[in-house]
Chains A and B, each alone.
Chain A
Amino acid sequence: QVRLQESGPGLVKPSETLSLTCTVSGGSISSYYWSWIRQPAGKGLEWIGRIYSSGSTNYNPSLNSRVSMSVDTSKNQFSLRLNSVTAADTAVYYCAREGAGYLFHYWGQGTLVTVSS
């Protein structure tokens, strides 16, 4: 059974960089697309972007200028960096694995990141 677990700081200061890592267990990170999705409190889900195991990426145009993702196949991990954060970036951040394109079969439990000074 594939399991995903998000990790990273729960508090980030405004204008700084949010960094999260997703660790995959129970399966290989190879040959799949891996996404980050977030949910601000009281709001819906927003797809941030994805990375293939080879390192190729696709980002949501709404966040494109501030987002970067990377993958470490040796550790079965992939990561998210979101720079110049504001309070609007406060959200629960999920990592997920795609089956068919943009269909999310497996998710992590999510991690709350608060942007505050």
Chain B
Amino acid sequence: DIVMTQSPDSLAVSLGERATINCKSSQSVLYRSNNQNYLAWYQLKPGQPPKLLIYWASTRESGVPDRFSGSGSGTDFTLTISSLQAEDVAVYYCQQYYSTPPTFGGGTKVEIK
């Protein structure tokens, strides 16, 4: 199985400031034939369905605010919230869908400082 490792476990950011979450995979999730990274990011809030934010490492899901962006390739990826809003308090997970079984990172809890 591909192991996904996120850092940090939690971070506290002031409103309007940048939040950066890292995700590392134990092997590359870049599929050479189509040059796509099979890496997604999800947002989990208590009592709500998890929400897909980013897929193909950098493509925003429809309706996701543009303050959320994804970057990286191969084994190292980043989710950035450019200007943290109160409604962004949540736990964020990366996931690889390159191979089966799909696997998730351990999560990063984002809070307001």
A contact set with B: CB distance below 8 Å: 4, 43-47, 58, 60-62, 94, 96, 99-110
Interface contact B50-A94, CB-CB below 8 Å: yes
Q: Is the CB of B105 within 8 A of A44?
A: yes
Flag whether B52 is at the interface (Cβ < 8 A): yes
- 8 A Cβ contacts from B8-28 to A: none
Interface residues on B, range: 20 to 34
For residue A106, which residues in chain B have a CB less than 8 angstroms away from its CB? Answer: 49
Interface string of B38-53 (1 = CB under 8 A from A): 0010100001111110
A44 → chain B, closest Cβ, in Å? Answer: 5
* Least Cβ–Cβ distance between B92 and chain A, in angstroms: 11
Q: Which residue of A lies closest to B96 (CB)?
A: A102
User: B55 at the A/B interface (Cβ < 8 Å)?
Assistant: yes
